[in-house]
Each structure stands twice: as structure tokens, then as C-alpha cells.
Structure 1
Amino acid sequence: MRRQTLVTVLGLALLAAPACAQPPVAPAATLNDRLTGDLVPTHDPVIIRAGDIYHVFSTGHGKRLIETRTSPDLIHWTAGDPVFTALPDWAKQAIPGSDGMWAPDIAHVNGRYRLYYSVSTFGSNRSAIGLATSPTLDPKAKDYGWRDEGLVVMSTKDDDYNAIDPNFLIDRDGRHWLTLGSFWTGIKLIELDPDSGKPKNAQAKPVSIARRPAPAGGPAPVEAPFLVDHGGYYWLMVSYDYCCKGVNSSYYTVIGRSKAITGPYLGKDGSSLMEGGGTIFLRADLQEQQRFRGPGHAGWLHDVDSKTGDGQDYVVYHAYDKQANGAPTLRIAPVRWGANGWPQAEY
């Protein structure tokens, strides 16, 4: 009787044991986990959807001036031909020593795609933003072809800002704007002429919308602005600290919001982006993971399902992959808007 009872008890314990010993459920794969294809090198990406195809444009050097990538599903990415293989003559003359087109932005305006791009040399504010346009993004289309429209805005050593990292936005009143800037006195905003895509008033002083007061002994970097219109606010993303150092990059992205496009932009805690504040939006992996470092230079896509009309926001950015010798890598994350009205990247 005792033996039978013991066997019964042991049997029940064995039946119960697997349930108690189940391994923890692995978290669902993120979009970043599923990205595949030509993800490297991607630096300073922006994204747009044209028809059923997603397009990413990013910084280029050498003979590949503005890299291009396409995907049918945001997951599988294929590199395409560069937008340009040589700098326009005006850019060579304006910015001696430059050899690349940096940090593009893409928008569809008045029936043409507008590609804003930067021309500079590292560490200098003798910089320029140019504009190229095309009626389509499909290289197979008969009317495909980028036409350079020349200089948009330029900065020199006599200016207190750096004319790189452009981002274009049409506000809710239909006014066109370009935000730009890196280091120096921070991020500026310039109103554009809707027809030309160039400054509406060349003599107007740029509006300051973000800066980081420099501490004693060195700069406090702020760059890579991107504006988003959502929920009755304008949202400004900027990158703090240093990019371009591989796995030693300290880049991270903060965000603030304002009722007016000209600011003031404030973080969730009320801190001002004009004082180096804001709310952290993208940051590096935790120290125990340490794979993707320096996430920044964020762009944005509001993607609308053509069948259901449902919308989903995504943030696109680069990060440096420690498992690939610090290669700048394409990263994309869905954005969820919380009950408090603030965005959270699911990366």
C-alpha cells in the first residue's frame, strides 16, 4: 500500500514537473530582428513609400553619391544604383574638398520627388544643401531621372550654424519648411517657397529650434533634425553626442513637441530642446548586449495601408553593429503612440 501510494505521488510529481520546468517564452521578433538583405553600409537614412515599394536613401561617398535601397515589405532590402556618381559643378566650387553627398531627405511635392542633400567636409561649417528632383522613383520608368536644382542654402565660417542634415515638412497651414543643422549653435528652421523648394526670403534669419549649450572644455553635439506632424503637435527629433566612431559612437536620439512649428520644443518632463533637453527616444543596446551602438540620425515614415486605410508610423535610423566591426547598419522600428500621447519606438 505504501509502495503504491509512493508510486502514485511520484507519478503525479513527474506529470507536474514539465509544467513547472517550462523555459521562459522568448520575446517576439522585432522588425529589426527580421531585416535582411543589403543593410550595410547605411548612414543617415530616410524612408518613403512609392506605390508598393519602400525606398531608403542614405549618405554616399566616392562614386556612390546618395545610396538607394528598396523593399516590397520593409524586411527584405536590395541596394540600387546611386542617385549621382559625381558632385554637381556648383557644389565642387562652393565646397572645395568635398567628396560626398550626406544626410539626404526625400519628399513628394507638386508631382515631383524632392531630394535634399548635404555637401560639406568633416568638422567644417562651410557647407551647402542642394536639391535634386525626379518625377518618379522607379528606375525602370521612362521618365525616371534626377535633375539637380542647385543650391538651396549655404553656411560659411562667418555663420553660427552648419547647413547640413536637411529635413522638409509642410505644416498644417500649407507653409513649407526646411530644418537643418549640426553642432555650432544647433538646429535651425527656414521657410521655403512652395514652387522652388528654396528659401522664401533669402535675407531672413533662420529660426533656432534646438541647441545644447556647450559645457566648459568642449562642444555638446546636436544634429540630424527631423520634424513630424502628429496629434496636434509638431515633434522634433534630434541626435545628441557623437556619430561616425563605429562601436565607440555615443549617438542617441531625443524628441520634443510643440504646438507651433517654430517651437518651443519640450520633452515629456518640460525640458527645452533649446537647453539640451528632450525625452530619450532611441538609445544604444543595454551594456550586457552591446551589439547595436550609437542609434541616431532618425527619419520617419507614416505608412497607410491602401486597402484598409490604417496607418502605422515607423522610425528609420542607423546604428553601428559590434558583430560586424562597427558597420553602419539600417534599422527600422514601428512606433506606438502611448496613452500619454508620446511615441515609443519598438526596437
Structure 2
Amino acid sequence: MKKKLMIWLFAIIFLLISALAIMFYLNNDQKPKTLQASQYPSPPAETPIEKITTNIIHDESKWTTNNTHDAEIIKVNDWYYTFSTDYKVAGTPLPGIQIRKSKDMINWMFVGRVFDNVSYEAKAWTNGGSTYWAPDVVEINGTFYLYYSVSELGTRNSYIGLATSASIEGPWDDQGSVIKTKEGDSFTVNAIDPGIIIDKDGTPWMAYGSYFGGIFVTEINKATGKLKNTDKEGTLIAQRQNNDFAIEGPAIMYNPDTDMYYLTVSYGWLEDTYNVRVARSESIQGPYLDYNGKNMIDISDESFDTGTKLVSSYAFNNDSGWLGTGHNGLLQDGDNYYLTHNARAGDDLYWSHLHVREIIWTEDGWPVVSPERYAGKPINSVESLKTEKIVGQWEQIVLSRIDDSMATSTTLHLYKNGKIDDENGEDYWELKGDTLSLYWYAPGDAPNDYWVDTVTVLPQWDWENWQPTLVFTGLSQDGTAVWGKRLPTEEKK
């Protein structure tokens, strides 16, 4: 009798343990999980960072990201450096090129300037050009090559020069002109906005130009840092229909995973409608095609809709937003890619800041950028993101390819049953890993009756609400950039 009782007791204990184990498994592996604090970026500062801080106007040591324009970025050892056009809100800028550095691309310190005055040669050529524009810097064989622009505003009287240094912080030796253009010469290019790229074979190239003639790319002599063919402007790789449609600020990056070159340019006016577009090519000399297969040298009546938009003026809720989000730089840091650009405060466009954004690559090899500024990587792995509960209220921003005015957010509700906005509607969403697909019902219009937005979900810092959050970024079926951000108060459904 005692033996049978013991057997029954062991059986009951075994069943209880099995039931508890099953419950534990269901609770921890099949139900959505919430990311831990260490799986989000840390706060970028102790308190929210103000866009407008008038008390720092005359104190460069406190400028941080303020007064930055046309910044290009380079990593040297453990430091990130930006070189930018000298700009100052409520004051006259100096002639030099501003240098900043950072250990994390979040907290920036002002280093100083390259040069005190524009060279006699550059000033004479440009009829008195008094400031440097849009620099870029690259390291070749242990020497830093700094390319800069000087121009007479509104003309092709322009000058790209070169300075060299053994140290990224200088001092710099001016090496004179790389290329000069003049109204009435045999060139069509405007010699401004140099962007240097080392191709996959180790050869340096310079992309440059503006809406005066378009964007060109030309090979650089590795020994001198100047043009290989001094009497030629290079190959045309991007242009607009006419001077009423601005294009400038070229940069090129190479992605070895796709074996493609990516050209970024800026459209619009620098104070408000500035926006960054991208196209790609198998060859550094083009042709560069956008997401929809349009050639960037198209000058037809449809040329206003070339280039796949990466970032443009935008505003989330609880914020005045950002204007003039253009003239970008590009950085590959190991397996990670980043984009820098100008951004002017929505409530006072004269306050221009440096923004850094993480680049995410789509499954078909297109770059998109985070809707939030870079605030660092999470401390721990975000594997649990695959089962993150994304149900609830989100803000969504669609960056129109055609309309470059400020894009504002709308509310997006993701229901537990997989529906969007209406629990009984036809729009629905699916999550696979970190890829979120949004299906928009359009019978008779869309392929298979649904337009599809394909976006990547990732943990980021919410600068507008000053807390960690989830965001998404990607492209619609027609190549329109789509951003999203989960709202602070998640609605349970």
C-alpha cells in the first residue's frame, strides 16, 4: 500500500513539474517579449538637448552640434571627425573650415578651423570669395587630403582646392587648385562640393558639381591628390532639368556586400526643402539608377522624380521638427554605415545642427536611414526583438518623392489580430524577424490588390519624447521612404 502511494505521489509531482515547465516555456518563448533596458540605446544626455540655446552663440566650446553645415565625416583611430562649412547663427562666420571630433558620434567637441583666410589665388579666381564651402577629407598612404570649395555665389566662378597634413587636426599646407571653373569656359560643371571616394580597387575619385551643369565624377591621381586628367571635367552622373531644380552635395559609398556604388545628392533649398536622394550603379562612373530604375542624368519632364529619397524635412508629434535636412556625408565603420546631414530647427531655421543617422540596408540592397538621430548602439544583443510586442499606437511619416515640404506624422494603430487601424478592416501587418510588412488594400489598383511597405524594426532613442522606443524604416512598393515610431503610451489590444 505504501509502495503504491509513493508511486502515485511521484507521478503527481512529475505531472506538476511538467505542467510548470510547459507554462514557463509558453510564457517565455511563445508570448511576445519586451526588450530590456540594455537592449535600447542609452540616453544621449542627462536631460533633453535644446535646439536653440542663445547663450552659447559666442562660445565655440559649447557649440557641440550647433552651427554645422555641409559636414563630412571621417574616422581616425578611435575618433570621429567632421569638417564643415563655417557657419554661425546671428553672426558673421569666419573664413575657415570648422573641425569637430567625437568618440561616439553623439557628443561633439569643437577642435578649431583649417586656415584663417581664403588663399589669394582662390579669392582672385572667384572675384573675392571670402569663405570656404563644403569640404571633404580622406586619408591616402598616411597623409590626409582636405578638399575645399570657394565660389562666387550664383555663378560658375568656382574653385576646388587641396590641403594636406600628416595629422587630422593639422596644421594644413595649401596645395593650390584641383580644378577651377569660370563663366564662359569650355566646361559645363561648377567646381564646388568635392566628395572623395576610394573605389573597390583602391583608386581615388572625386564627385563634384551643382545645378550649374550637374554632378560629375573624375579620377584622382593617387600620388598628388589632384586630377588625373587636368583638362577634363570627368563623367556626368547626375543632373536636373534646369537651374530651377537644385542638385548639389554629392557623395559616393561602396558596399562590398552588394558590390554596388551608391551616389547621394541633395535636392531643394538649403533652408527648408533640402533633402537627400540616392541611386546606385555597378560602376563608379555610372549609370546611377534609383529604386524605380530612373537614370540620374534624366532631364525629361519627369526628372523632378528621380532619386530615391533618404531624408527630408519632417516633424514628429511633440516637436517643431527639422528643416533643410540635406548636404550629407557618408561613413562606413566596420559593418556599420552612417549618414550625416544638416538640419535646421523647425522653430528657428537659422539654427543649423549636425545630425547623424544609422543606415539600414533593405533585403534588395537599398540604403534607408533611421527616423531618429543616432544615440549609440544597445549594450546587449536585441535578439528578442524578433518577438517584441509591437501592437499599439505608432506615428508614421511618409517622405513623398515629389513633395519636399515638411512631412508630418499620422497615427498608425497595429492591432493584435494583425489588422491596421480597423480591427475588421482589410489593411493588415505581418512581422517576420525584424521585418515588418504593412499591407494596404487597393483592389484593382495594386498588384494582387495590396500595396506593401517593407520596413525594418529596430530599437532607437526617441529624441522627441526623450525615452527609448522602437522605430521602423524602409520603402514602399514604389520606392517611397516610410518611417515609424512607437508612441510612449502603448495601447493594449
Is TM > 0.5 for Structure 1 vs Structure 2? yes
Distance 1:315 1:302, change over 3 A: same
Match of 2:347 in 1: 323
Match of 1:346 in 2: 370
1 CA distance for matches of 2:314 and 2:282?
Answer: 32
1 CA distance for matches of 2:217 and 2:113?
Answer: 28
Q: Which SS does the other structure have where 2:73 is aligned?
A: strand
2 CA distance for matches of 1:155 and 1:162?
Answer: 6
Preserved contact between residue 32 and residue 331 of structure 1 (Cα < 8 Å): no
Q: Which SS does the other structure have where 1:313 is aligned?
A: strand
Q: Which stretch of the first structure deviates more once superposed, 59-68 or 328-337?
A: 59-68
Match of 2:323 in 1: 293
Task: Please point out which of 208, 216, 229 is paired with 1:180.
Answer: 208
Match of 1:7 in 2: none
Alpha carbon RMSD of aligned pairs, Å? 2.4
Match of 2:250 in 1: 225
Match of 2:64 in 1: 38
1 CA distance for matches of 2:73 and 2:86?
Answer: 15
Distance 1:78 1:260, change over 3 A: same
How many residues of Structure 1 are paired with residues of Structure 2 in the alignment? 305
Q: Could you report, residue by residue, the CA deviation over 1:242-297 in whole angstroms, capped at 9, with x for unpaired residues?
A: 11x3xxx2111110000011111011111111124111111111486552112111
For 1:71-220, list aligned pairs within 5 A.
71-138=102-169, 144-158=170-184, 159-214=187-242, 219-220=244-245
Q: Which SS does the other structure have where 2:245 is aligned?
A: coil
2 CA distance for matches of 1:109 and 1:147?
Answer: 15
Shift of the alpha carbon at 1:176? 2.1
Shift of the alpha carbon at 1:63? 3.0
Distance 1:266 1:80, change over 3 A: same
Q: Could you report, residue by residue, the CA deviation over 1:274-329 in whole angstroms, capped at 9, with x for unpaired residues?
A: 1241111111114865521121111011113xxxxxx2111011011123443111
2 CA distance for matches of 1:70 and 1:176?
Answer: 24
Aligned-residue sequence identity (percent) comes to 32
For 1:18-29, list aligned pairs within 5 A.
none
2 CA distance for matches of 1:42 and 1:98?
Answer: 20
Preserved contact between residue 216 and residue 235 of structure 2 (Cα < 8 Å): yes
Letter in 2 for 1:204: K
Match of 1:235 in 2: 262
Q: Which SS does the other structure have where 2:121 is aligned?
A: helix
Task: Please point out which of 328, 332, 341 is paired with 1:302.
Answer: 332
Letter in 1 for 2:240: R
Shift of the alpha carbon at 1:80? 1.7
Q: Which SS does the other structure have where 2:177 is aligned?
A: strand
Q: Which SS does the other structure have where 1:93 is aligned?
A: helix
Preserved contact between residue 331 and residue 339 of structure 2 (Cα < 8 Å): yes
Letter in 2 for 1:206: G
Shift of the alpha carbon at 1:35? 7.5
Preserved contact between residue 66 and residue 104 of structure 1 (Cα < 8 Å): yes
Shift of the alpha carbon at 1:205? 4.1
Letter in 2 for 1:155: T
Preserved contact between residue 216 and residue 233 of structure 2 (Cα < 8 Å): no
| TM-score (normalizing by structure 2) | 0.58
Gaps of 5+ in 1: 1-27, 139-143, 305-310
1 CA distance for matches of 2:332 and 2:206?
Answer: 19
Shift of the alpha carbon at 1:64? 4.5
Match of 2:358 in 1: 334
Shift of the alpha carbon at 1:170? 1.8
Shift of the alpha carbon at 1:162? 0.8
Preserved contact between residue 224 and residue 297 of structure 1 (Cα < 8 Å): yes
Preserved contact between residue 228 and residue 236 of structure 1 (Cα < 8 Å): yes
Letter in 2 for 1:42: T
Q: Which SS does the other structure have where 1:335 is aligned?
A: strand
Q: Which SS does the other structure have where 1:213 is aligned?
A: coil
Preserved contact between residue 35 and residue 76 of structure 1 (Cα < 8 Å): no
2 CA distance for matches of 1:338 and 1:120?
Answer: 38
